[in-house]
A = this chain, B = another copy of it.
Amino acid sequence: MFVIGERINGMFKDVAEAVKKKDKEVIRSLAKKQVASGANALDVNVGPSSDNPKEVMEWLVKTIIEAVGDVPLAIDTTKKDVMEAGLSLCRRKPIINSVNANEDKMKPLFALAKKYKASVIGLTTDKSGIPKDSEGRLELAMKIIASAMEHGIDTSDIYIDTVILPVNVAQAHVKEVLKTIRELKVLADPAPKTILGLSNVSQGSQAHLKPLINRTFLAMAIASGLDAAIMDANDKDLLDTAITAELLMERQLYCDSFLDAYRKK
């Protein structure tokens, strides 16, 4: 599975403080630790309370590249100028996180994707919000894929995020998300990749139950065909679960010490 580490996000206190103090070491060490734990890419989000998001994004991206230069970055912002600031500094193929199914969102961001040869995460939401069932989510996914094609973006560069909501407030959505992932794999050819912002599923649940909810849901999503997740790459049990689920789906060849073999790759 393609693991995007979620930790460099201004919503986390340590990141917010590091940004305020321009403390590069905190960011560097978060970057290195996630990559050492198995992250294939790193999400970068300045957080909700930044006064100068563009400058912060540039500082974060530069700092991360100093620490782990070869790792792709997912530039995570709703602002076009912040997005371009991040993308323009990336050395490896970046990921735009994210567009949704609104035309006024897709148009400028697909143009940036084209300019910077970026992959794009497309959320199955639009002005009406998040559809409650898989049919609605599929419809928006197809809209995103169609628009991407019009802009000359390859379907293989699209990650559809079927938007998992917290189970404690939107329990009925969970199986709809799994169904959407499964059906996306047969609806489009070539099929787009699928992705989830995993930790959201346990948002608001009791702290000691969050890791259990996250790893159980991840196994279920991989069984449904999930390709990628923005998740806590430092949670070893979670990564073990992902590796094992992919083994069971025959995405990795069995060997006796399959966890070690995966991590050595």
Q: Give chain A's interface residues, CB within 8 Å of chain B.
A: 167-168, 171-172, 174-175, 178, 201, 205-206, 209, 212-213, 216-217, 219-224, 240-241, 244-245, 247-250, 253-254, 256-259
Question: Is A220 within 8 A of B248, CB to CB?
Answer: yes
Question: Is A249 within 8 A of B206, CB to CB?
Answer: no
Question: Is B254 within 8 A of A167, CB to CB?
Answer: yes
So how many copies of this chain end up in the complex?
2
Determine how close the nearest CB of chain B comes to the CB of A10; give it in whole angstroms: 28
Q: Which of A213, A221, A223, A258 has the most chain B CB atoms inside 10 A of its CB?
A: A223
What secondary structure prevails in chain A residues at the interface with B?
Answer: helix
The distance in angstroms between the C-alpha atoms of A249 and B256, with both chains bound, is: 32
Question: Is A216 within 8 A of B167, CB to CB?
Answer: no
The 8 closest A-B pairs by CB, nearest first: A220-B223, A219-B219, A216-B244, A171-B254, A174-B248, A223-B223, A216-B219, A216-B245
The distance in angstroms between the C-alpha atoms of A256 and B166, with both chains bound, is: 12
CB-defined contacts of A175 to chain B, threshold 8 Å? 248-250
Given A244-B216, A248-B175, A250-B175, residue A168 in contact with residue B222 (CB < 8 A): no
The distance in angstroms between the C-alpha atoms of A256 and B249, with both chains bound, is: 32
The distance in angstroms between the C-alpha atoms of A249 and B171, with both chains bound, is: 8
CB-defined contacts of A240 to chain B, threshold 8 Å? 212
Assuming A168-B254, A171-B254, what are 20 further A-B pairs, CB within 8 angstroms? A167-B247, A171-B247, A171-B250, A175-B250, A201-B248, A206-B256, A206-B257, A209-B258, A212-B240, A212-B241, A212-B244, A216-B241, A216-B244, A217-B244, A217-B248, A219-B223, A220-B223, A220-B248, A220-B249, A221-B223
